[in-house]
Amino acid sequence: MQDVTDLPWAHVAITGASSGLGRALALANAAPGRVLHLAARDTTRLEDTAAACHALGAEVMATPLDVRDAAACAAWVNGMGRIDLLLANAGISGGTGGGTEPGEQVRAVFETNLNGVLNTALPAMARMATQAPGADGLRGRIGIVASVVGFVAAPSAPAYSASKAAVQRWAEATDATQRRRGIRLHSICPGFIRTPMTAPNRFPMPFMISPEEAARRTLEGIASGRQRVAYPRRTYALFRLLGMLPPGLMAWASRAVPAKDVSAA
């Protein structure tokens, strides 16, 4: 990865920064002269991430935040100075456990993975539109963390795959119009990352990568201006192929692998 001090942004906001990919993204952006606004629900782990970033020389503001709270998200965004990059990373996972996905879980997944993204991305876009362009000519960037699972109607995780598909499509469609205002949106579509979210999975997870590698690929993709940042390539290709299967065949094939744990995490 290019040196963090060479990345074309200095003021970065990250949701879900307490663990997994969010923590790795925070650490990858931490350097002297950087201002990091980190948010997450778990206060203890968030403070640990903030301390690690501060030790690397960054100025850090840590805010306990539930992205489902639209008013709190707007206050968080509006309380910042300049925002060069917002990484809407907060998300939860959930599956069927081999049965029917509970209704309360469906609502929780959509509230976090879809509404939570909009609760941070929309006020950030409004703020960025008022900012002067940076040295690269952009007023700001927003990275929306989706997933390669969004390319598949996954019977084992209906709400999760649907929520990730929604934010991926929204980010890419919105990027086309926001460019006119000097704002870029990027859909981030990782494969399997070794995090607490994937740890309970009992099915094969090919080409799994570390959070640090995922953060590197994410930031390099955004810096290079890619509208869709999908990785690893083999996982991306696999899920695009799976997404082309007839729904009935996909439902039949899903019975051959262990179901995803029913608990959202």
Strands 85-88 and 11-15: parallel
Q: Shortest CA distance to 1 belongs to which of 184, 229, 215, 189?
A: 215
Backbone CA torsion sign across 48, 37, 2, 32: negative
Please say whether the beta carbons of 29 and 84 come within 8 A: no
Q: How would you class 59 by CB atoms within 10 Å of its CB: exposed for 0-12, middle for 13-18, buried for 19 or more?
A: middle
Angle at 255 between CA 236 and CA 151, to 5 degrees: 25
Q: Which of 160, 192, 236, 239 is catalytic?
A: 160
Beta bridge partners of 230: 189
Pull the structure tokens for residue 68: 């489902």
Among this protein's residues, is 160 annotated catalytic?
A: yes
Which residue type does 233 have?
R
The candidate with the shortest Cα–Cα distance to 11, out of 140, 188, 184, is 140
Measured CA to CA, the distance from residue 60 to residue 29 in angstroms comes to 11
**β-bridge mates for residue 144, sequence order:** 88, 187
Closest CA to 205 of 149, 247, 262: 149
Cα–Cα distance between 96 and 88 in angstroms, integer?
A: 25
Residues 6+ apart with CB under 8 A from 1: 28, 216, 219, 220
Active site residues: 160
